[in-house]
Structure 1
């Protein structure tokens, strides 16, 4: 069987004679929607715009911005103005989506024989199922890629994505680098991110000042009354994280139940801020040797790790490891590989054969043979 593992994960760059039209359909987008997946997407679309391509994002849910706007060369069409998405999408050279919008976008791509890209931010079966048959699947980490390959190995060849690539959530370190502050900081106070543990630690370690940042999703867990060492601030756009979050953080805490990568950790590393985290596969991969790990159900281990960073020498050593990991990730060619892969989907204007889903299987919509 031809598995994803047997295929190259980097598509060769193809010279292009004109600017491509790249159209994405997603739930929300920066600066109004500040989830890590959306900032990853923006970090990937931004360099395509810098290469001269026409990049547009159409939103599928009402947001706080109700007029079209542009951010770093990416044009964003809010839900309130985006009722003609299907008509616009059929003129695109490449379509792109993630999460719940994938079935709609892959359906349009199949009907119009437009190359389609799907980003998999997690290892859920639904994500892999929806990405089946895509021209390019982007995994946000190596462990997600491995799980994807295991998933697709159970199915016939025609179910597989045509190509795949790993793009670890890009973080431009210079946009986050600052002088660390003095707080133990958690970004997103919902239960899955560790909001309960965060406030337990605050109660048991009055030596520390705790800063909680409201997240973009999930019910936020507020501190119990009479904890004078706690502060909660509203969530801020990604471009303001340097000033309002990392510029106040001495340590970042990530007791997350699930992280497929852990962008916040990498952003903190840009400033040499140590991160204590629950060892999810994604955080173990993203943090590497710079990580300080403790299981989220062991509050004593978290208190011990946090108190050890009160020692200036311990903190300095952890900070050096964080900066080294930031440099290592910044040197990775993921974004160049991604842009080359997108450009390789362009075939000079000819619409290629597409496969569409039918009752959980895939069928060829032309008589031109398999891709």
Structure 2
């Protein structure tokens, strides 16, 4: 049983879709999997999302009773402290999904008796080790595992479109970079996808189409089928799920070199500092040439194949089952 703040289709962020893609294999193994929400939203009654039972806070069902009946609790982000407290009270093992290297992530995970910490990248695991070295009195998790945000390539692969796209147009994700590039390149079509959080920068320009918040299950048809190049000029990305989703279609990704994006995109990534708008424009114009685009697309597909999540998801399921 998982306890998180929000879930799709209302809230579509990388953390939530990582959780969904990790819970689905547990459902396939025959486990009873449910997600209980801690924030009020639009849904009133429990609903099914890709085989997972989601229980809204509005349903007013008895969460503590459900905890007593659970074998394993899973949580992430803001719900870790309260879930860990309940886990201690009822003697249940708790699994913490660590989606970023911000101090609260490690602090909250180390404050309780975490049975299993799940890191979304090698660099995050290394950052966790630095945290424990700096705070030796912190309680280490009983075990840890790396599960890179699972992307099933066949669920995203499509024929690329023509637009230059940014998913989540807040400032930290690069909304102003998109706006600057759209002004500099009026001959190119841009696609601005409204994000799940943060104040959005949505340019009112004739060559920019704005899409409302898109459910993860619809990203292939509504976003990637219309995208030629994906922009990720983010100031911070612990991994960068949208970039990996784009790779499945051979869509080149032009990104700021955060440690997470460097690890996720590998040799397929085209890295430009987010403050270098001239550099972004130069790369995009280079990718307009067929030969350059074919080479970048080939690298993208090769990296997508390298990131097949099957082995890591099997190890994840085994680790969870060992706690029950």
Query: By the TM > 0.5 criterion, same fold?
Result: yes
Matched residue SS, 2:172? helix
Q: 1:290 touches 1:322 (CA, 8 Å); kept in 2?
A: yes
Task: Give 2:174's aligned residue.
Answer: 194
Q: Using the alignment, how far apart are the partners of 2:161 and 2:218 within structure 1?
A: 15
Matched residue SS, 2:69? coil
Deviation at 1:82, TM superposition (A): 3.9
1:210 to 185, 190, 193: 190
What TM-score does the superposition give when structure 1 sets the normalisation length? Answer: 0.85
Deviation at 1:156, TM superposition (A): 4.2
Task: Give 1:99's aligned residue.
Answer: 77
Task: Give 1:10's aligned residue.
Answer: none
Provide runs of 4+ in structure 1 moved above 2 Å.
Answer: 153-158
Task: Give 1:361's aligned residue.
Answer: none
Deviation at 1:66, TM superposition (A): 1.8
Q: 1:119 touches 1:138 (CA, 8 Å); kept in 2?
A: yes
Matched, 1:163 2:143: yes
Q: 1:90 touches 1:108 (CA, 8 Å); kept in 2?
A: no
Q: 2:5 touches 2:38 (CA, 8 Å); kept in 1?
A: yes
Q: 1:97 touches 1:117 (CA, 8 Å); kept in 2?
A: yes
Structure 2 regions of 5+ residues with no counterpart? none
Matched, 1:277 2:268: no
Q: 2:67 touches 2:90 (CA, 8 Å); kept in 1?
A: no
Deviation at 1:330, TM superposition (A): 1.1
Q: Deviations over 1:175-216 (max 9, x none)?
A: 101000000000011111100110100000123110100011
1:144 to 124, 138, 142: 124
**Which sits farther off after the overlay, 173-182 or 149-158?**
149-158
Q: 1:25 touches 1:58 (CA, 8 Å); kept in 2?
A: yes
Task: Give 2:6's aligned residue.
Answer: 28
Q: Deviations over 1:142-201 (max 9, x none)?
A: 111100011112344771111000000000110101000000000011111100110100
Report matched runs for 1:1-371 at 5 Å: 23-132=1-110, 133-156=113-136, 159-224=139-204, 227-330=205-308, 333-346=311-324
Q: Using the alignment, how far apart are the partners of 1:139 and 1:34 within structure 2?
A: 20
More helix by share: 2
What TM-score does the superposition give when structure 2 sets the normalisation length? Answer: 0.97
Task: Give 1:7's aligned residue.
Answer: none
Q: What number of residue pairs does the alignment pair up?
A: 322
Deviation at 1:83, TM superposition (A): 4.7
Matched residue SS, 1:76? strand
Matched residue SS, 1:200? helix
Q: Using the alignment, how far apart are the partners of 1:155 and 1:313 within structure 2?
A: 51
Q: 2:75 touches 2:96 (CA, 8 Å); kept in 1?
A: yes
Q: Using the alignment, how far apart are the partners of 1:329 and 1:113 within structure 2?
A: 36
Deviation at 1:52, TM superposition (A): 0.3
Structure 1 regions of 5+ residues with no counterpart? 1-22, 347-371
Q: 2:150 touches 2:309 (CA, 8 Å); kept in 1?
A: no
Task: Give 1:354's aligned residue.
Answer: none
Matched residue SS, 2:11? coil
Q: 2:151 touches 2:309 (CA, 8 Å); kept in 1?
A: no
Aligned-pair Cα RMSD in Å: 1.2
Q: 1:180 touches 1:271 (CA, 8 Å); kept in 2?
A: yes
